Each structure stands twice: as structure tokens, then as C-alpha cells.
A = this chain, B = another copy of it.
Amino acid sequence: MGSDEKYWLGFDLGGTKMMATVFDAGFKILGTHRTKTKGHEGAKEVLDRITETIKEAIDDAHIKTQHLDGIGVGCPGPLDLDRGIILEAPNLGWKNVALKDTLEKTFGCATVIANDVDSGTYGEYRFGAGQKARCVVGVFPGTGIGGACIYEGKIFRGKTGSCMEIGHMRVQSGGRVCGCGQRGCLETVASRLAISAEAAAAAYRGEAPHLLEMAGTDLSSIKSGVLAKAVAADPVVERIVRNAAQHLGGAIASVVNLLAPDVVVLGGGLVEAMSDLFLNEVRKTVDNRAMKSFTKSLKVVAAQLGDNATVMGAAALAAEAGDGKR
């Protein structure tokens, strides 16, 4: 391996799992490693596990640590991007963790951090479903609903940091209580978690017998894969998913009227598990609701990179931030 080759590492720090991937200068995957996050074990343990995971990925790529030119980390927020600090991440038990400094000391190369949804959408923009678009909006329904916008090649940041909190657009006055303290936010009706809760209630009422048999009524058992199977077996679950997708489409229509994107990329486990049903319903609603001048050349598409979106986006951000300190 020539010393003029560049190597970038992308890291995806999720609430349940973490993943490190090493890329060459052409963003070909050279090696990867993933493990459970286990946030409940505490901040120090998670930090150690991040370091270990990066080392494993470096080993897997058959390069040496000193060959690494930069690290990019997609992480939950809120973040201090300039200083590379995770200000707060309840899932990880973290407060004010200086991730950038820690990784730069350990691995001897420049490190950038970014919001995970920003990283994932940037990945789709650079390498996936949003390539060459002037304005890409990414929407990822999961426990909440993440959003991001890549505009003219850069993450849209508003005043500073990360924004595009599409999950907290209000879609129902007097609606359900949201984790953010408001009522009627989009994620109370259209997140994977909201769908799971509605489906669990249907199961409890005896209206979704297949779901009940597959997963019971515990939300922690009703994940995207189970929902996809239940959609095929229990008509009420299909109705619930369609209704949620329509809510999502309505909110996306408002975003389209504001930002006039070329492409809306929908991703995450829920979309992957039932992309036809979900995407068609969202597309139909956006077409019906948004202004014609904005929908006529709009594409609403599924993400292409799956779990690799965040590591690819984060690695690309690291590459752009410079050539590292070597």
C-alpha cells in the first residue's frame, strides 16, 4: 500500500449499536466492525468500546493506525461541532463528552463529528439516492423521525449545528404528547414507534391476531421486520401503516413547499422493511398536497446505502475537512 494513498474512517454511534468502517480514497470499503453500544454501562465503557471498534475496523482493513488520515463520527446530538463535543446523549448516558479530542489523541488523526442524520443524508447525497442533487431532504422514521437537508453540497445547518427537526413539525392541534414536551408533533403519529404503539393496541384489542402471535403487545418486540410481516397478515396493521405514511407525506409536502428539493430520500428500518407500501403512500400524498411547481420534477425515493449511509457520510465529511494531520 503506497504512502500516498489516503484512508478515512467513518463511525456510526447509535443508541443500540455502533459501527466503524475504513474507506480508501475512492470510498471503497476496506474493513468494518460493529458491536452493541450498551449505553447503560456508562460513558467510560462506551468510549472504550468506540476505541476498540475503530481498532477492529482498522485491523479488518489490513492497514495500520498511523495510515489513517481522518475520522468522521455520526452521533446523536445536541453537539458542539466546532469543539467536537457531544453535549448530551441520554441514550449513551453522556454529557459533555469531548469525542473529537479523545479520538484525535488515541488515533493521531483529525476527527470531525456530525449529527447522525446529517451524516446519513450526506452519505446518500455523495454515494446513494441523492447524488448530484442541488437540494436533498432526508427523512428517517425510527424511534423518532430524523431529518436533514443537503443544499448545494453542504449540510444545511441553520444558525449553527444541526436542524431539520421534521419529526417536531406540528401536524395535529391537540394531538398526542410528544417526547419534546409539545403535542401533535409528526413523530407522535408517523414514527416507527408510533406505528408500533398503534399496532400493539390493535393487537391487544384482538384486531391483529397475527401480530399478537408473532410479537405480543410489547413495543420492544414490534420492530420494523415484525410490522412488515403483520402488514401482510393483518389488514388493520396495513391501515395503520398507510395512515402514518399519509401523515408523513403531508408533513413532507409542507417541507417541499418550503425547500423545493430535487430529491426526498426516505430511509431507516421501517422504510427498508416495507418500502413499496410506505413510499407509494408518501409519494401519493406529497403529489396531492404539495404545490405543482415543486412536485413536477421531485423524486421521492428509498435510501440506497442502508446501514452504510452514516459511516460513508461521516468518512466523506472527514475527507472534506482536510487531509488529517499527517
**Residue positions of A touching B, CB distance < 8 A:** 78, 133-135, 147, 151, 156-161, 163-166, 168-170, 172-173, 180, 182, 250, 253-255, 257-262, 289, 291, 293-294, 297-298
- Chain B residues contacting A159 (CB-CB under 8 Å) are 133-135, 260-262, 294, 297-298
Choose from B156, B250, B298 the contact partner of A170 (Cβ within 8 Å). Answer: B250
Contact (A289, B182) CB under 8 Å given A159-B261, A260-B161, A261-B158: yes
- Chain B residues contacting A158 (CB-CB under 8 Å) are 134-135, 259-262, 294
B258 contacts A169, CB within 8 Å?
yes
A232 to chain B, nearest CB (A): 29
A263 to chain B, nearest CB (A): 9
Q: Within the oligomer, what is the number of copies of this chain?
A: 2
20 interchain pairs (CB within 8 A)?
A: A78-B293, A135-B159, A151-B156, A156-B259, A158-B261, A159-B262, A159-B298, A161-B293, A163-B259, A163-B294, A165-B257, A165-B258, A165-B294, A169-B254, A169-B257, A170-B254, A172-B173, A180-B291, A254-B254, A258-B259
Choose from B147, B160, B260, B289 the contact partner of A163 (Cβ within 8 Å). Answer: B260
Where chain A touches its partner, the secondary structure class is loop
CA distance A250 to B163 in the complex (A): 17
CA distance A289 to B159 in the complex (A): 18
CA distance A161 to B291 in the complex (A): 14
Which residue of B has the minimal Cβ distance to A185? B257
A170 contacts B289, CB within 8 Å?
yes
CA distance A157 to B250 in the complex (A): 21
Question: Which among A156, A161, A164, A298 has the highest number of chain B CB atoms within 10 Å?
Answer: A156
Which residue of B has the minimal Cβ distance to A134? B159
CA distance A291 to B181 in the complex (A): 9
Question: Which among A164, A169, A173, A259 has the highest number of chain B CB atoms within 10 Å?
Answer: A259
- Chain B residues contacting A151 (CB-CB under 8 Å) are 151, 156
- Chain B residues contacting A163 (CB-CB under 8 Å) are 257-260, 294
Which residue of B has the minimal Cβ distance to A297? B159
The 5 closest A-B pairs by CB, nearest first: A158-B260, A163-B260, A165-B257, A169-B254, A159-B262
A186 to chain B, nearest CB (A): 9
- Chain B residues contacting A168 (CB-CB under 8 Å) are 254, 257, 291
Choose from B164, B166, B170, B297 the contact partner of A253 (Cβ within 8 Å). Answer: B170
Question: Which among A156, A159, A297 has the highest number of chain B CB atoms within 10 Å?
Answer: A159
CA distance A254 to B297 in the complex (A): 25
Which residue of B has the minimal Cβ distance to A250? B170
CA distance A173 to B135 in the complex (A): 28
CA distance A147 to B160 in the complex (A): 21
CA distance A152 to B165 in the complex (A): 20
